[in-house]
Every structure is written in C-alpha cells, then in structure tokens.
Amino acid sequence: DQQVKQNSPSLSVQEGRISILNCDYTNSMFDYFLWYKKYPAEGPTFLISISSIKDKNEDGRFTVFLNKSAKHLSLHIVPSQPGDSAVYFCAASLVSSGSARQLTFGSGTQLTVLP
C-alpha cells in the first residue's frame, strides 16, 4: 500500500514557465513533508519542506503548498530552468514506533525543462 503517491511519472515544461509537481498521501498521521531532487548518478538532495501546521512555504523559485483536507501537496517552480531537469521525490514524515521518525517517499516525477 503506497502511502505517498506521485501519479505523474514525467512532466515536460518550457523554460521560463511554471512547473507544478503533485503528490498525494493517505496517512493523516504524516506531519512533515519534503521535496527532494535527484540527478542521475547522485543521491537525492533536499529542496524544500513544509510542516503540517502550514499551508505554504516559499524558498526562492520553489514553493510548496499543502492541502491537508485533500491530503495533497504540490511543488511549484517558477520560472523553470533547464538545470531543474531532474527526478523530484515527494516524502512524508511521521513519528513511528519506537519514537523514531521515518520518511516515506513517493515514486518520483521526472521533470524535463525544455530550452
């Protein structure tokens, strides 16, 4: 049972336009959400996060929106640049058994920004 879903395996966007990557989750116990970016042959790198007590967090060209009632979050990249082309993973965190936090990742969305 996938608790974090990224239903679009790929997305192509023109340079300068907005990229919107979506993520849905099923577990209402998740209280922290993150986006990671991954280039080929490299490990994922942290991009931006949001706590469940907020509905928006902005960092430069990147904004994450959280809709708790819909159990949905999205990452907006404006303006999109060719260097943004990568796989984007959505992740959700909760305190699991033993009081340890655990990250659950989605399957990723390949973003291609066309020049």
C-alpha to C-alpha distance for 85 and 39, rounded to whole angstroms: 8
Least distance in Å: CB of 55 to other proteins? 18
Tokens of 42: 């490299």
Q: CB of 6: closest distance to other proteins in angstroms?
A: 8
DSSP state at residue 34: E
Q: Which is nearer to other proteins, 107 or 112 (CB)?
A: 107
By C-beta, is 77 or 106 nearer to other proteins?
A: 106
DSSP structure string for 41-71: TS--EEEEEEETT-SEEEETTEEEEEETTTT
Q: Rounded distance, CA 9 to CA 21, Å?
A: 10
Minimum CB distance to other proteins, residue 15 (Å): 27
Our CB check for other proteins shows the closer of 43 and 83 to be: 43
Which residues make up the interface to other proteins (CB under 8 A)? 4, 6, 9, 32, 34, 36, 41-46, 49, 89, 91, 93, 95-108
